[in-house]
Amino acid sequence: MASMLKAVNQVSPPLDERSKYLRRLIVRALDKGERGHIGSSMSLVEILRALYDDVLRFRPVEPKWPDRDRMILSKGHGCITLYVMLADKGFIPVETLDTFCHRDSILGGHPESNKIPGVEASTGALGHGLSIGVGMALAARMQKRDSRVFVVMGDGEINEGSVWEAALSAGKHKLSNLIAIVDYNKIQSAGPTREIQDLEPLLDKWRAFGFAAIDVDGHDLPQLRAALQSAPLERDRPTAIICHTVKGKGIPFAEHDPNWHHKAKVAPDVIAKMYAALE
Amino acid sequence: MTATASSESAKVEDFIACGAADAIPRFYGDALVEAARRDPRIVCLCADLRGSTETDLFARELPDRFVDAGIAEANMIGMAAGMARCGDIPFVHSFCVFVTRRCYDQVAVQVAYPALPVKIVGFLPGLTTMLGVSHQAIDDIALMRALPNMTIIEPSGSEQLGAAVEAALTVDGPVYLRMKRPDTAIPGLLPRSLTPGKGEILRLGRDGVIIACGVMVAAAMEASRRLAANGIDAGVVNMPTIKPLDETLVVESARRTGLIVVAENHSIIGGLGSAIAETLLEAGVSTGFARVGIQDRFAEGGSTPYLHAKFGLTADAIVEAYERAAGRRKAMLASSSAA
């Protein structure tokens, strides 16, 4: 029950200006697109920020650089945060965020690798990403490249059996170049994970599948950086980092609320309140 | 019928004849190893069915490029997609049922949508196993046909198993190979080529054409012979690429003879028969038409000859279907002349 206790007692550091700025870009896309998985995107900001700012090796001008690290957003519905990071890093213009979910936009409701530079796989059908990551990690090893593969999953997503098929194979192949990350915001589509499909004891599950696993505060950047940069945590093992997060983080009236898992046509005054919360 | 077509048809029948008690040859497994020696991008994945998919050869010869995914087909497809995104050409293996239906979501979103060069190889097509309904792929062609970007290839028999590997490699994107291992040794087997997207005229035929794939090609040749004994000149087309369909040959065969019978070791829903019916109707070709296949029902375990007899996958069934199609043709001609 260690994980649950941590979640209940979690006191994350206050959001700094960059975390607020990135969240304002999320609100911008939500506003212009008139919809979005807002709660799922807000819980993910510090995880992707730490990855793109401090961990991943990539070249925005050469998105297919063979020696890049791979980052697969397996919880594809959190894509606004990914789009924001890709815009922030120069893979796409920031203005493209204003086309989110528009007709003919490259930025759809789930990320598509054939349309958006920097997106490594088309996700949205849950439970696919870790398998792809295992394949990429195996390919990197066979091709003698030192690329690392990061797969970010949702907590609801890991209800899917295919995740655990992939976890078994990662353990078998001792994929030390694979890092599985769970955005554990404790709320899935219809309600709390402990009611819909309890995951505990979650660290023990990953360890049983052969991973070196730790949990961190998923909004605490020093903790996130330390964990991500030290992977592999153990020699000859894949790594699992369970990130305890808050669904809707940064928007007080959306936090912990399943009703903010996805929202459409958010009223202008509510958008204004979201911006105000992120000043 | 031309002399060439006739002599070729004789060869096809020879291939189907049972051989001596030699070890069963492994045309597919050998061809895959040979291709992989030439092309370092080829990797092999298998869902714990090495012997049944002949990939034990690959595992032995090229162990560094072989991955046993265990009995986890969905993960195997996802892994293959990840490897393909890193420049590999993965061949993934299981029984036809499991490598299509079991992992359909992964095949659709992670292989077909991004059009990755993943070659999905299934064994035990249709009713070719004692193992019962759970292991009988009667809907795999329908499932794979519905996916954009997917090519579907089913060799006519052992003579095309090796060529199927080469064919899969000439297609840039995803391919589903629907394979059947030989039951016996086949002395003197002459390999045949297989051009993706092209049907192969085995007998030309003046009165009608039987279009078949897989094990039904041999049955179609036998049916054609029986019809010939009654003075009916029925041609036979081997259609090893089910998608994309050789529409030109289908339409030409129908326009020329006005009578098409389709025979497949698959449900009559969604397979080769459906594809040909759709093609003919949209081409505006009026033709006598009948389908031979599994009649929208689940089968049962049993020997292949028993199952094929019971579920209507025989030369007799094709002859009966031909007669039905001829009757429809006659009725159509009568009603059009009455009008």
What average pLDDT does range B129-136 have in this prediction? 94
Of B65, B76, B82, the CB nearest to A133: B82
Residues whose CB is less than 8 angstroms from the CB of residue B266 and which lie 6 or more positions away in sequence, other chains included: B125, B126, B137, B138, B139, B140, B141, B142, B272, B293, B294
Residues of B in contact with A131 (CB under 8 A): 74-79, 81-82, 106, 110
Residues of A in contact with B86 (CB under 8 A): 66, 135-136, 139-140, 143
Q: Are residues B80 and B119 in the same domain?
A: yes
Q: Are residues B152 and B210 in the same domain?
A: no
B85 touching chain A per CB within 8 A? yes
Q: B185 in a domain, yes or no?
A: no
CA distance linking residue A221 with residue A198, whole number of Å: 27
Q: B194 in a domain, yes or no?
A: no
Mutation test of the interface with chain A: which of B44, B46, B73, B79, choosing the one with the most A Cβ atoms within 10 A?
B79
Last residue of a domain, one of B145, B179, B213: B179
Question: Are B69 and B76 contacting, i.e. CB atoms less than 8 angstroms apart?
Answer: yes
Q: Are residues B93 and B208 in the same domain?
A: no
Q: Are residues B214 and B167 in the same domain?
A: no
pLDDT at residue B183, rounded to an integer: 87
What average pLDDT does range A192-219 have in this prediction? 97
Structure tokens at A81: 């945060």
User: How many domains are there within chain B?
Assistant: 2
Q: B17 in a domain, yes or no?
A: yes
Q: Nearest Cα to B65, choosing from B47, B41, B81, B84?
A: B41
- A132 vs B110: CB contact, 8 Å cut-off? yes
Residue of chain A nearest B76, judged by CA positions: A131
CATH code of the domain covering residue B150 = 3.40.50.970
Does residue A108 register a pLDDT over 70? yes
Q: In the structure, what pLDDT confidence band is assigned to residue B186 with cuts at 50, 70 and 90?
A: confident
Q: Are residues B209 and B300 in the same domain?
A: yes
What's the ipTM?
A: 0.95
Q: B12 in a domain, yes or no?
A: yes
Of B75, B106, B113, the CB nearest to A169: B75
Give the torsion sign (CA, A154, A158, A163, A164).
Answer: positive
CA distance linking residue B72 with residue A226, whole number of Å: 34
Question: Are B273 and B293 contacting, i.e. CB atoms less than 8 angstroms apart?
Answer: yes
What average pLDDT does range A92-105 have in this prediction? 96
Q: Are residues B147 and B209 in the same domain?
A: no
Q: Nearest Cα to B32, choosing from B121, B146, B153?
A: B121
**What are the structural domains, with CATH classification, of chain A?**
17-277 (3.40.50.970)
Residues of A in contact with B114 (CB under 8 A): 113-114, 121-122
What average pLDDT does range A114-129 have in this prediction? 97
Residue with the two structure tokens 């094929």 = B308
- Put residue A125 in one of left, alpha, beta given phi > 0 → left and psi -120 to 50 → alpha: beta
Residues of A in contact with B82 (CB under 8 A): 121, 131-139
Strands across the sheet containing B234-238: B200-203, B234-238, B208-212, B259-267, B288-294
pLDDT at residue B338, rounded to an integer: 80
Residues B26-46: pLDDT tens digits?
A: 999 999 999 999 999 999 999
Structure tokens at A229: 């940069």
Question: Are B176 and B112 contacting, i.e. CB atoms less than 8 angstroms apart?
Answer: no
Q: B283 in a domain, yes or no?
A: yes
Does residue A231 register a pLDDT over 60? yes
B62 touching chain A per CB within 8 A? no
Mutation test of the interface with chain B: which of A132, A157, A174, choosing the one with the most B Cβ atoms within 10 A?
A132
Of B78, B90, B114, the CB nearest to A166: B78
pLDDT at residue A9, rounded to an integer: 56
pLDDT at residue B2, rounded to an integer: 37
- Put residue A217 in one of left, alpha, beta given phi > 0 → left and psi -120 to 50 → alpha: beta
CATH code of the domain covering residue B258 = 3.40.50.920
What average pLDDT does range A205-229 have in this prediction? 97
Residue with the two structure tokens 């815009």 = A87
Residues of A in contact with B78 (CB under 8 A): 128-132, 134-135, 162, 166
Q: Are residues B60 and B137 in the same domain?
A: yes
Does residue B6 register a pLDDT over 70? no
Q: Tell me which residue range forms the domain holding B91.
A: 3-179
Q: B187 in a domain, yes or no?
A: no
Average pLDDT, chain B: 93
What are residue B44's DSSP bridge partners? B66, B91
Residues of B in contact with A132 (CB under 8 A): 78-79, 81-82, 85, 110
Last residue of a domain, one of B179, B212, B234: B179
Radius of gyration over alpha carbons of chain A, in Å? Answer: 17
Q: Are residues B274 and B130 in the same domain?
A: no
User: Which amino acid makes up residue B73?
Assistant: E
Q: Are residues B74 and B174 in the same domain?
A: yes
- B79 vs A142: CB contact, 8 Å cut-off? no
Outline where chain A has alpha helix (H). Answer: 2-9, 17-33, 38-42, 45-50, 79-89, 129-142, 161-172, 193-196, 202-208, 221-230, 268-277
CA-based nearest distance B223→chain A, Å? 46
- Percent with pLDDT over 70 in chain B: 93
Element (H, E) at B71: none
Residues of B in contact with A166 (CB under 8 A): 75, 78-79
Q: Are residues B72 and B175 in the same domain?
A: yes
Q: B250 in a domain, yes or no?
A: yes
Residue with the two structure tokens 């007799």 = B316
pLDDT at residue B185, rounded to an integer: 86
Q: B115 in a domain, yes or no?
A: yes
Q: Are residues B157 and B261 in the same domain?
A: no
Q: In the structure, what pLDDT confidence band is assigned to residue B8 with cuts at 50, 70 and 90?
A: very low
Element (H, E) at A99: none
- A131 vs B79: CB contact, 8 Å cut-off? yes
Claim: this prediction has a pTM higher than 0.95: no
Q: Are residues B159 and B209 in the same domain?
A: no
- A165 vs B64: CB contact, 8 Å cut-off? no
pLDDT at residue B7, rounded to an integer: 39
CA distance linking residue B98 with residue B69, whole number of Å: 13
Lowest mean pLDDT among A80-89, A210-219, B188-197: B188-197
Residue B246 to residues A112, B15, B250: CA-CA distances in angstroms?
A: 32, 24, 6
- B82 vs A131: CB contact, 8 Å cut-off? yes
CA-based nearest distance A253→chain B, Å? 35
Does residue B234 register a pLDDT over 90? yes
CA distance linking residue B19 with residue B183, whole number of Å: 9
